[in-house]
Amino acid sequence: MPHRPHPIEILRFNTCGSVDDGKSTLIGRLLYDSKSLMEDQLAALERSADLTGGGQINLANLTDGLRAEREQGITIDVAYRYFATPRRKFIVADTPGHVQYTRNMVTGASTANLSIVLVDARQGVTEQSRRHTYIAATLGIPHLVIAVNKMDLVNWDRERFLEIREAFEAFLPRLDAFKDVKFIPISALHGDNVVEPSPHTPWYEGPTLLRHLENVHIASDWNLTALRFPVQWVNRPNAPTDPHLHDFRGLSGQLAGGIVKTGQKVLILPSGLKTTVRQIWTYDGVLAEAFCPQSVTLLLEHDLDVSRGDMIVGTEHLPGMSSELRAKICWMHARPLRAGMKLFLKHTTRTVQAIVTRLENRVNIATFDPEPDPPELAMNDLGEVQIKTAKPVIFDAYTFNRLTGSFILIEQGTNATVAAGMLHPPSELVKPEYTDFAI
Amino acid sequence: MTSYHLDHLQYLETEAIHVMREVAAEFERPAILFSGGKDSICLLRLAEKAFRPSDIPMPLLNIDTGHHFPELNEFRDRRAAELRARLIVRKVEDAIAAGIAVPEPGEVSRNRLQIPTLLAAIEEFRFDCLIGGARRDEEKARAKERFFSFRDRFGQWDPKNQRPEIWNLYNTRVNPGEHMRAFPLSNWTELDVWEYIRRERLEVPSIYFSHTRRCVRRNGQWLPVTELMPPKPGEEVRELVVRVRTIGDIISTGMIESRADSVDDIIAEIAAARVTERGARADDRVSEAAMEDRKKAGYF
């Protein structure tokens, strides 16, 4: 790429806060001030301003896309926005603050490197702020920004800002999450400290929000420690014209962790068979090594029976393998979860039948305390559960690897996605000498 | 020292390949929508990356409105042949003749009539998943799309009842008669598409590059003069140096005045552009909720 000496990275972030904390306005402001808005988008904004806004441009109209939202004045679903600066490209998930839409925040936050929790400077820390911070922590988002918004409405009062900061710092340690946390006083409506530094906050010495988004260190957000290659699709050409491909039997997939090298010894799970990586094949040529999250096709030394849902791992840093799982889940469906419910569980490329055998607790979002033995988990509840699967799942703790530590639950019949799950550490790991016993 | 690091195009590519392989692995009768436009050109390269050295394990499908730019159809047929892919074309005029698509009196645009034609093709081949090149940055309603977008028995999208999509764990399950639309380019922007075309050295139809064309000014746009759309009395026909930025039907695609005649020029032009890609499409400007209405009915 002759035009770009420095590769551009992608940073994914989500915004969350209570209704009217100004999430959509903030995203509108980022787009507007970073000159990511086009003339026709501005023209559409101005048209709708004439109709509904009494003549003033409403930045929130940029992101509140669906008609129902415009009518109700709230964001009801996850909307994705894209903008770029010379340093980074940004994928923004605008996730709702309305209490019954927690599932959408989980959706938007699940792929994020960074979460922005918006707080109204007048309101301070609300139950919603705690809930959103807790969800961001539970989802293992590495970087957190607390944007204290509407500072103009508290006269840019430094004491108020510090008070809110202290209120967060009182409970953040209990969550034991986040590589870094940044507090920024802003006015999304007027643009202070969003892209340009504010003249109203001489007492604030930190970066503007955009500057922080451009600079926060995200290179180590993927797990490169332990090789995890969930087999996604068996690549076996039918009657290939090229005779070299007659015996081609590739295993295609996306690395979910670690690095794989040609010549490396690997273990195939659940069978436990050992073999060596003969070649790392891609359309662009053979690679000496590949890393998470690259998509490649592996050729193995031995012709083994490997299929979708199997996991290829290195001989060090072995995962757990069990049909008895413990996890924290977010329940996302109107029909509540009760013990004994039978569902499909999709984990990496493996979908198995599962029964939720026990509801251990339900988390009280206000106190973060687990309340033991709830009769059910309702929509938007978080809680810890035990699950029995029909076939073993090869997994890691979610805190170790977000890709091999996560699963979704699917209702049988309607096929609705009813829960997002984050696995607890395995009680024991696969043994390196493990081989081929009956499961 | 190796850097274990993907730049933005490599990240978008691996995400898209993962989606395409999920489709191949989890559906019985998928297809790729291929129009010959720039987004679907990227889709085909991603399909090659996902499935080679095997053949692309699904056919290509195109709904031909009869109002396509001829350059586009020529390119579509040639590209499919080069890839040794099976191309299925279903025509709106055949659907009209069969009574599947019914034009309103005086309705010239084939835009709405694509929908029943597409749904009939889905029924005919019993497709359970269609891979499309839609991107979330195109339009407000699309910003809310999932990678895997569920369609009910009537092919309809219900924006209030979407399946939550968490991590990269896609729930691909559908019951008979229902189907899925999969959008591997969800996170790509217009600029990403062109940068990918440049990096992969992909051929695109000639109408993306500047050329001389007779146009008339209508609703603030330059529209190409063709047999389908002769100039109205009093309209001045101008010979302009233009190109297309987004390709719709020949009767509704605004031409932009441009001297960009290479991919590099186009990238420079887009980077400096002050109008979005869809700003040139009359079909979206009917109302603010235009796209939302068409999507609910089964449009892409």
Chain B neighbors of A226, CB-CB under 8 A: none
Distance CA B282, CA B253 (A): 7
Asked if the structure places residue A23 within a domain, the reply is yes
Chain A neighbors of B11, CB-CB under 8 A: 10, 293
Claim to verify: residue A308 and residue A330 sit in the same structural domain? no
Distance CA A93, CA A108 (A): 5
Q: Which whole number is the average pLDDT over B3-23?
A: 95
Distance CA A32, CA A85 (A): 12
Quote helix, strand, coil % in chain A, to nearest 5.
Answer: 20, 35, 45
- Measured between CA atoms, the residue of chain B closest to residue A103 is B164
Q: Would you say B117 and B100 are in contact if contact means Cβ atoms under 8 Å apart?
A: yes
Claim to verify: residue A211 and residue A246 sit in the same structural domain? no
Claim to verify: residue A73 and residue A171 sit in the same structural domain? yes
Claim to verify: residue A309 and residue A411 sit in the same structural domain? no
Claim to verify: residue A257 and residue A170 sit in the same structural domain? no
Claim to verify: residue A330 and residue A370 sit in the same structural domain? yes
* Backbone CA torsion sign across A209, A210, A213, A215: negative
Residue B271 is predicted with a pLDDT of 81
B84 touches chain A (CB under 8 A): no
* Per-residue pLDDT tens over the stretch B194-251: 999 999 999 999 999 999 999 999 888 899 999 888 999 999 999 999 999 988 888 8
Query: Considering only CA atoms, which of A130, A76, A97 is closest in space to residue A21?
Result: A97
Residue A74 is predicted with a pLDDT of 45
Which CATH topology does B8-201+288-296 take? Rossmann fold (3.40.50)
- Which residues, in sequence order, are CB contacts of A162 under 8 Å at separation 6+? none
User: Per the structure block, which two tokens stand in for A2?
Assistant: 């002759």
For residue A354, pLDDT over 70 is answered with: yes
Claim to verify: residue A198 and residue A87 sit in the same structural domain? yes
Find the CATH number of the domain harbouring A419. 2.40.30.10
**How many Cβ pairs closer than 8 A exist between chain A and B?**
175
User: Residue B298: left (phi > 0), alpha (psi -120 to 50), or beta?
Assistant: left
Asked if the structure places residue A220 within a domain, the reply is no
Residue B253 DSSP label: B
Asked if the structure places residue A20 within a domain, the reply is yes
> Of the ranges A27-41, A210-224, A321-335, which one carries the lowest mean pLDDT score?
A27-41
Distance CA B97, CA B93 (A): 6
Claim to verify: residue A142 and residue A254 sit in the same structural domain? no
Claim to verify: residue A174 and residue A280 sit in the same structural domain? no
Domains held by chain A: number: 3
Query: From the CA of A99, how many Å to the nearest CA of chain B?
Result: 16
Task: Out of B11, B169, B275, name the one closest to residue A10 (CB).
Answer: B11
* Backbone CA torsion sign across A42, A45, A49, A51: positive
* Per-residue pLDDT tens over the stretch A264-280: 999 999 999 999 999 99
Residue B99 DSSP label: T
Chain B neighbors of A254, CB-CB under 8 A: 14, 17-18, 21, 168
Chain A neighbors of B24, CB-CB under 8 A: 233
Claim to verify: residue A259 and residue A309 sit in the same structural domain? yes
Residue at token pair 């509840």: A381
Count other C-beta atoms under 10 Å from residue A431's C-beta: 10
User: Per the structure block, which two tokens stand in for A6?
Assistant: 């420095």
Claim to verify: residue A304 and residue A348 sit in the same structural domain? no
For residue A71, pLDDT over 60 is answered with: no
Asked if the structure places residue A1 within a domain, the reply is no
Find the CATH number of the domain harbouring A155. 3.40.50.300
Query: From the CA of B201, how many Å to the nearest CA of chain A?
Result: 12
**Pairing of the two strands B87-91 and B60-64:** parallel
Which of A247, A281, A314 finishes a domain? A314
pTM, rounded to two decimals: 0.91
Q: Which domain holds residue A293?
A: 228-314
- Phi and psi for B49 in degrees, rounded to 5? -65, -35
Asked if the structure places residue A355 within a domain, the reply is yes
Q: Which whole number is the average pLDDT over A398-425?
A: 96
Query: From the CA of B114, how many Å to the nearest CA of chain A?
Result: 23
Domain ranges of chain B: 8-201+288-296, 206-284
**Contact criterion met (CB < 8 Å) for B276 and A104:** no
* More confident: A32 or A262: A262
- DSSP helix/strand/coil, B43: helix
* More confident: A136 or A220: A136
* Per-residue pLDDT tens over the stretch B75-94: 999 999 999 999 999 999 99
Q: Exposure of A3 by Cβ count < 10 A (0-12 exposed, 13-18 middle, 19+ buried)?
A: exposed
Asked if the structure places residue A340 within a domain, the reply is yes
* More confident: A96 or A73: A96
Rg of chain A over all Cα atoms, to the nearest angstrom: 24
Q: So what's the ipTM on this one?
A: 0.91
Contacts 24+ apart (CB under 8 A), A41-50: A41/B276, A44/B288, A47/B288, A48/B288
Alpha helix (H) residue ranges in A144-183 = 158-175
Asked if the structure places residue A410 within a domain, the reply is yes
- CB burial readout A332-350, b (16+ within 10 A) else e: bbeeebebebebbbbbbbb
User: Per the structure block, which two tokens stand in for B74?
Assistant: 């020529």
Q: What percent of chain A has a predicted confidence (pLDDT) above 90?
A: 67
Claim to verify: residue A60 and residue A148 sit in the same structural domain? yes
* More confident: A183 or A435: A183
CA distances in angstroms from B71 to A213, B74, B228, listed in the order given: 43, 5, 16
Asked if the structure places residue A296 within a domain, the reply is yes
- Phi and psi for A254 in degrees, rounded to 5? -110, 130
Count other C-beta atoms under 10 Å from residue A11's C-beta: 21
